[in-house]
Amino acid sequence: MKTVQLLVLTVFWCGLVFAEEPEVFYCNGPKNTKMISITFDDGPGPYTEKILGVLKSYGIKATFFMEGSQVQMRPALAKLVADEGHEIGGHSYSHPDFYHYEKDDREQLLLQEFQKTDSLIERATGRRPLLVRMPHGYVRPWVKKTARDTGHILVNWTFGCDWKPLSPEDIAAAYGTNIRSGAIFLMHDGGRNRARTLDALPKIIEEAQSRGYAIVPLGTLLGLEATTTK
């Protein structure tokens, strides 16, 4: 998620429809209602609790795509996210770059990453995630099939830029420009210093609300169950 090329690939794959494959893959929600979702990747991390504080102050619920390795390090923080009413999805265990793996290796690796992350999230929160976001937004037909076969729903994003070397003001302005019905915003609460994300978040929320948009978790935006106790 570090290059313009990656964002272009994400949009490309999001737009494809495979008639013979019933797998579900989202990168935006319905465009006939004024709702958007804010999602956070790579946590739980040092900034997660502060981000939770911002969301709470605005009465906002979000979706957090967590890395299994980070849940393993901070299970209490993962539980706090769930206890405060936010959704949790999986974002792999170790955040591997599947663009660099051979086919045979990557399929087995993906299964292991799904299973380990699901187990850790369920142990920490009491619920197993159904939503999953691939590292770097990597999506291919075989990934969609694997997600379907393991009971997961793939979700990418409409827009994101908080990892770029921009000021909080410029980050907020970029997200503000991309506020539209059904938008899924990608942000980060883990992985590195997220101070700029933390500073930009209130501005993004206020801009969306001032324009009459409701900010809702992905389950609400997409009309589906995000987790299960089964």
Q: What mean pLDDT do residues 207-213 have?
A: 98
Q: What mean pLDDT do residues 68-83 have?
A: 98
The percentage of residues in the chain with a pLDDT greater than 90, rounded to a whole number, is 79
CA distances in angstroms from 177 to 159, 183, 198, 208, 211, listed in the order given:
10, 11, 18, 10, 12
Which residues have a Cβ under 8 Å from the Cβ of 74 and sit 6 or more positions away? 44, 45, 48
CATH number at 4-228? 3.20.20.370
Give me the amino acid identity at 35: M
Q: What mean pLDDT do residues 104-113 have?
A: 86
Lowest-pLDDT range of 12-16, 76-80, 140-144, 225-229? 12-16
Cβ distance 156 to 137 under 8 Å?
Answer: yes
Region for 213 from its dihedrals, namely left if φ exceeds 0, alpha if ψ lies in -120 to 50, beta otherwise: beta
pTM for the full model? 0.89
* CA 26-27-32 angle, 5° bins: 90
Cβ distance 186 to 167 under 8 Å?
Answer: no
**Does the structure show a pLDDT above 90 at 71?**
yes
pLDDT digits (tens, 9 = 90+) for 5-49: 444 444 444 544 444 445 689 999 999 999 999 999 999 999 999
pLDDT digits (tens, 9 = 90+) for 126-170: 999 999 999 999 999 989 999 999 999 999 999 999 999 999 999
Please give the pLDDT value at position 59: 98
User: Would you list the domain boundaries of the chain?
Assistant: 4-228
